[in-house]
Amino acid sequence: MAADSVRKESQNGCTDHSGPTKDKPTEKAAMLHKDVGLLSGISLIVGTMIGSGIFISPKSVLLYSGAVGPCLLIWTACGVLSTLGALCYAELGTMITKSGAEYSYLMEAFGGLLAYLYSWTSVMVLKPSSFAIITLSFAEYVSAPFYPGCTPPVVVIKCLSAAAIFVIITVNCLSVKLASFVQNFFTGAKLIIIIVIVVAGIVLMAQGNTQNLSNAFQGSKTSFGAIGLAFYNGLWAYDGWNQLNFITEELKDPYRNLPLAIIIGIPLVTVCYVLVNVAYFTVMSPTELLLSPAVAVTFGDRVLYPLSWIVPLFVVFSTFGSANGSCFTAGRLSYVAGREGHMVKLLSYISLKRCTPSPALIFNGILTFFYIIPADINSLINYFSFAQWAFYGLTALALIVMRFTRKELKRPVKVPVVLAGIMVVVSCYLVLAPIIDKPELEYLYCTIFIFSGLLLYFPFVYWKVNWAQKFMKPITMHLQLLLEVVPPEKTE
């Protein structure tokens, strides 16, 4: 095949273009390499978690909780819950050192069918919709200064979002090291603005601006579904605690760095989130916060003037970094699913020159472009959370099941099984509570979509019908030549 000649000409290697060498370019095997260290791992977790959520979700969490006190408690509880979930994933990730996070763990515990349904739902809906939400938030903050006193036109927001998607996909296709550098840089930037907001809040509290924090539980809501929706929006801001598990195969010393990055990263984010919300309430009453089109920008206008422009600038940095992290991991899920035969094989190919899973990254980017066309951020969050927490619960259940069915597997990190039990119970609550309290068609649509994957699973994955393989073979070959990608080399 023509692609084989391409591979031979490159001597089965990937040229590392990340820097100059004295004699000749360094040859790398055509596979994904362990280029992600501890700092980059922490940056991936922190940088993906701290994105648009803390600058958008405070309104929704407050709206559904009804008062300042329950709002702060929910932010704290979301951090604790994320930590418990991540500890379960630390055991799973050091026991099964494959990339793909939930996909690999569901495959190991329950078999290919459930893993396929997860990959189908995540690759086609969850990952691109998450990417779309973050880039739309990025676009809102970028365009806001150019339209003072009014909402930016929808077409402007969507065009900026599309431009951000294109840039991020390009960066991730070019180099893993470049993508990691971008992630580290923007994580540092977002921590700077978090520190500025928190310090300003502490100063205001010291000056006596605590009126919004008194009688903090007055007007709080106790509705079963309302609390669930408050958790949905809070946990959306925390989403990303499992991101490192998607790239386990590219992580240096995963037995050490995976749990260490989790232990450092998630508590850091929790502290930042709670303190940022406290800072918001030193400046804005609950009513003012709910009416603010951009909470962080309103805070900056009232506290940091004439330097208030730094807040939207750093929020732009924050959302861009989060979008980069989301793209980075989404590509790895498509890559692993393609490698296992649950997606088209081309998605498991990697760039011959760059050693990046460029077909998987490009595919994720194309889907994301479609999601920004009709997108409404709040409805996408609810849609995303409903399906995602169903799979989080199943993954926690997988940990419990494998304690009995896979006793022979080594567990460098072993957490109390009760933590996995808590995750299963909480996941069931987060999936069922909003449906019971306020049934909506979007939950039914989500369920139908998940199981519609079976229409493709049985003919194309389980039975592997001949005509489909004959149809895909020339398409795969031409795209392989066009994109200059090859199947990854086998590893021991």
Look at residue 22 and tell me if it is in a domain.
no
Extract the tokens encoding 172.
């991730």
Q: Among 240-254, 343-357, 402-416, 434-448, which is the least confidently predicted range?
A: 434-448
Pick the more confident residue, 99 or 214: 99
Q: Does residue 22 register a pLDDT over 50?
A: no
Residue 29 in domain? no
What is the arithmetic mean of pLDDT over 163-177? Answer: 94
What's the mean pLDDT in 264-279? 91
Confidence (pLDDT) at 468:
83
Range of the domain at 478: 38-485
Render pLDDT for 285-333 as a digit per residue (tens, 0 to 9): 888 888 877 787 788 888 888 887 888 888 889 889 989 998 999 999 9
Residue 7 maps to a domain: no
For the chain, the C-alpha Rg in angstroms (whole number) is: 23
pLDDT at residue 434 greater than cutoff 80: no
- pLDDT, average across residues 152-173: 93
Name the domain count of the chain. Answer: 1
> Is residue 454 exposed (0-12), middle (13-18) or buried (19+ Cβ within 10 Å)?
middle
pLDDT (mean) for 32-43:
84
Q: Which pLDDT does position 360 carry in this prediction?
A: 94
For the stretch 112-131, pLDDT in tens is: 999 999 999 999 988 898 88
Domain presence at residue 291: yes
Q: Taking residues 458-467, what's their average pLDDT?
A: 88
How much is the average pLDDT of 467-489?
A: 88
The answer on pLDDT for 37 being more than 60 is: yes
What local confidence, expressed as pLDDT, does residue 16 receive?
A: 47
Q: Taking the C-alpha atoms of 436, 438, 442 and 446 in order, what is their torsion angle to the nearest 10 degrees?
A: -10
Q: Which has more pLDDT, 17 or 334?
A: 334
Q: Could you tell me if residue 130 is inside a domain?
A: yes
Any long-range contacts for 141-147 (C-beta under 8 Å, 24+ apart)?
Answer: 141/55, 141/294, 141/297, 141/312, 141/315, 141/316, 141/319, 142/316, 144/293, 144/294, 144/297, 144/312, 145/309, 145/312
Residue 82 pLDDT > 50: yes
**pTM of the predicted protein model:** 0.85
Q: What whole-number distance in Å separates Cα of residue 121 and Cα of residue 342? A: 12
Q: What is the pLDDT of residues 353-369, one digit of tens each?
A: 888 999 999 999 999 99
Q: Where residue 240 sits, what CATH number does that domain have?
A: 1.20.1740.10
Q: Which residue has the higher pLDDT, 194 or 433?
A: 194
- Taking residues 186-190, report their average pLDDT: 89
For residues 436 and 323, give the distance between their C-alpha atoms in angstroms, rounded to a whole number. Answer: 33
Whether residue 8 is predicted with pLDDT greater than 80 in this model: the reply is no
Percent of the chain with pLDDT over 90: 37
Q: Is residue 24 part of a domain?
A: no
pLDDT higher than threshold 50 for residue 25: no
The pLDDT of residue 164 is 95
> Mean pLDDT, the chain, as a whole number?
84
pLDDT, tens digit, for every residue of 217-266? 777 776 767 787 788 778 878 888 888 899 898 888 889 999 999 999 99
Confidence at residue 15, expressed as pLDDT on a 0 to 100 scale: 47
**Mean pLDDT of the 453-457 span:** 93
* 2 occurs within a structural domain: no
pLDDT for 384 beyond 50: yes
Residue 17 resides in a domain = no
Least confident range of 4-8, 240-244, 341-345: 4-8
Is the bond into 488 cis (omega within 30 degrees of 0)?
Answer: no
| Banded model confidence at residue 449, pLDDT cuts 50, 70, 90 | confident
